[in-house]
């Protein structure tokens, strides 16, 4: 097992936000940015709404088109964006920490594909349309995929390298996607509904969907926050973590549960959206350094910002139509992934 030898000089250089005060201030700035992203998400779209009217839609309801657009259409998708963004950001951070793999992401590793396959099965094959029903499928699908991918990528002679894990994830994702599309070929009605679900989008979902999945996301987020110390210890290597008093198996299991709850919940509300969990932890790490006690809270703020901005971009780019957020994220995320791969030796976390 390679232990703490891996961190390079580049990683050790002090992050921009090195002190507790700076980090707290950064978090406050992040929250302000998130508020800005929320306002953007409420204001921008096929019917642009001035910021003043966005406010009055909540304080002084007049029932105008603008107010309806803000409260009936954009508020649900914004709230879903916040929940899914936080969940995916946290899931990515925890999975990168627990696998010590800088390229881990619930999308790349097939976990979202597992949840998506389970949800599509539940909705279109078993006829379970209530989110309270199919959210369980999402969790089980995510959990099974996570276990399979980790077992495949991390077992064997060589320790789990970023490459073996990514390949196992991509292979499992390919398998599940093939099976999911085979289901969609069953009849044209299924295909028609399915093609909109599977791209990953914040629109066309209502607050009831969010309410059904929110408890699981909250549990996942709390577990992620609880796991931060364990992730810090695991980053030093399994042996060191154990000698620091961590029960490694328990820590890993809790972290995995956090990932499954977050990723499964996010897929249940918004469909599979990739790369959020890849990009967010790297951005957070670049700001605050390798301490997961800070990375996780930062990713909880940065995930929603990223997802909301991507969603707004999707509305602006092909206006009056829209580009689903899952597609925008792939366009943003794939180059980041490639950049991470190209920037030299893969840094082990």
Partner 1 sequence: MTGTLTRRVPVRSRGFSRLLDLRLLAVCLGAVVVGVVATALSVSLGEFAIPLGDVAATLVGAGTRTDEFIIVGLRLPRALVGLGCGMALGVSGLIFQTLVRNPLAAPDIIGVTGGASLTGVAILILGAPPALLPVGAFVGAVASATLVYALAWRGGLSPYRLVLVGIALAAAFGAGTSYLLVVGELIDVQRAAVWLVGSLNGVTWDAFWPLVVGLVVLFPATAALTRALDALSLGEESAVALGVPVQRARLGLVVVAAALAAFAVAASGPIGFVAFIAPHIARRLSGLTGAAVLPAAALVGGVLVMVCDLVARLVLAPIELPVGTVTAVVGAPFFLWLLYRANRPVRGG
Burial environment of residue 332 by CB neighbours within 10 A (0 to 12, 13 to 18, 19 or more) = middle
The reply to whether 147 sits near partner 1 by the rule CB under 8 A is no
Among 13, 19, 59, 188, binds partner 1 (CB under 8 A): 188
Residue 156 within binding range of partner 1, rule CB under 8 A: yes
Cα–Cα distance between 263 and 281 in angstroms, integer?
15
Please select the residue that binds partner 1; options are 6, 39, 147, 170, rule is CB under 8 A. 170
**Helices 248-270 and 75-99, packing angle to 10 deg:** 150
Instruction: Give the span between the Cα atoms of 33 and 307, in whole angstroms.
Output: 13
Element at 12 (helix H, strand E): helix 9-12
Q: Look up residue 115 and give its two tokens.
A: 């949840």
Report the residue from 20, 127, 245, 321 that binds partner 1 according to the rule CB under 8 A. Answer: 321
Q: Does 198 bind partner 1 (CB under 8 A)?
A: yes
In this complex, which beta carbon is closest to partner 1, that of residue 212 or of residue 333? 333
Query: By C-beta, is 256 or 278 nearer to partner 1?
Result: 278
Among 38, 69, 103, 142, binds partner 1 (CB under 8 A): 103
Among 153, 264, 281, 304, contact with partner 1 (rule: CB under 8 A): 153
334 binds partner 1 (CB under 8 A): yes
Stretch that binds partner 1, among 15-23, 89-97, 177-185, 213-221 (CB under 8 A): 177-185
Strand ranges, E, within 27-120: none
Nearest to 334 by CA among 298, 310, 316: 310
Does residue 241 contact residue 296 with C-beta atoms inside 8 Å?
Answer: no
CA distance 257 to 103: 19
Which range touches partner 1 (CB under 8 A), out of 8-16, 126-134, 223-231, 326-334? 326-334
Q: Is 219 in the site for partner 1 (CB under 8 A)?
A: no
Does position 178 bind partner 1 by CB under 8 A?
A: yes
- Tell whether residue 305 is a contact of partner 1 (CB under 8 A): no
Q: Is 29 in the site for partner 1 (CB under 8 A)?
A: no
Nearer to partner 1, 103 or 139 (CB): 103
Q: Among all chains, which residue has been given the structure tokens 């050790």?
A: 12
Q: In angstroms, rounded to a whole number, what is the distance separating the alpha carbons of residues 308 and 177? A: 26
Taking the least distance from each CB to partner 1, the nearer of 122 and 165 is 165
115 binds partner 1 (CB under 8 A): no
Please say whether the beta carbons of 284 and 298 come within 8 A: yes
Give, in order, the Cα–Cα distances in Å from 66 to each of 33, 52, 60, 275. Answer: 23, 11, 12, 32
**Phi (first) and psi of residue 138, to 5 degrees:** -60, -45
Binding of partner 1 by 141 (CB under 8 A): no
Residues of the shown chain interacting with partner 1 in the complex, contacts defined by CB under 8 A:
103, 107-108, 148, 151-153, 155-157, 162-164, 166-168, 170-172, 174-175, 177-179, 181-182, 184-185, 188, 191-192, 195-196, 198-199, 274-275, 321, 323-324, 326-327, 329-331, 333-335, 337-338, 341-342, 346
């Amino acid at each position: 097992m390679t232990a703490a030898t891996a961190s390079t000089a580049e990683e050790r250089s002090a992050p921009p936000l090195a002190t507790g005060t700076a980090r707290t201030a950064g978090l406050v700035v992040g929250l302000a940015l998130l508020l800005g992203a929320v306002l953007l998400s409420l204001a921008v779209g096929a019917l642009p709404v001035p910021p003043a009217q966005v406010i009055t839609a909540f304080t002084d309801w007049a029932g105008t088109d603008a107010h309806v657009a803000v409260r009936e259409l954009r508020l649900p998708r914004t709230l879903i964006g916040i929940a899914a963004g936080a969940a995916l950001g946290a899931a990515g951070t925890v999975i990168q920490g627990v696998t010590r793999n800088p390229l881990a992401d619930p999308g790349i590793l097939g976990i979202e594909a597992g949840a998506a396959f389970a949800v599509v099965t539940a909705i279109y094959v078993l006829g379970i349309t209530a989110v309270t029903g199919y959210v369980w499928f999402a969790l089980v699908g995510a959990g099974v995929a996570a276990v399979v991918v980790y077992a495949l990528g991390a077992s064997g002679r060589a320790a789990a390298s970023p490459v073996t894990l990514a390949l196992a994830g991509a292979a499992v994702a390919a398998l599940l996607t093939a099976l999911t599309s085979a289901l969609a070929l069953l009849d044209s009605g299924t295909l028609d509904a399915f093609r909109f679900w599977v791209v990953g989008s914040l629109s066309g979902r209502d607050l009831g969907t969010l309410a059904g999945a929110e408890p699981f996301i909250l549990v996942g987020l709390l577990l992620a926050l609880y796991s931060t110390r364990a992730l810090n210890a695991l980053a030093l290597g399994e042996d060191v973590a154990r000698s620091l008093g961590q029960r490694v198996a328990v820590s890993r299991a809790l972290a995995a549960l956090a990932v499954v709850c977050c990723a499964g919940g996010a897929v249940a509300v918004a469909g599979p959206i990739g790369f959020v969990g890849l990009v967010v932890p790297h951005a957070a790490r670049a700001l605050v350094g390798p301490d997961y006690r800070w990375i996780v809270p930062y990713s909880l703020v940065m995930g929603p910002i990223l997802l909301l901005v991507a969603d707004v971009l999707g509305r602006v780019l092909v206006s009056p139509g829209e580009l689903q957020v899952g597609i925008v994220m792939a366009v943003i995320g794939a180059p980041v992934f490639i950049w991470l791969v190209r920037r030299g030796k893969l840094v082990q976390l």
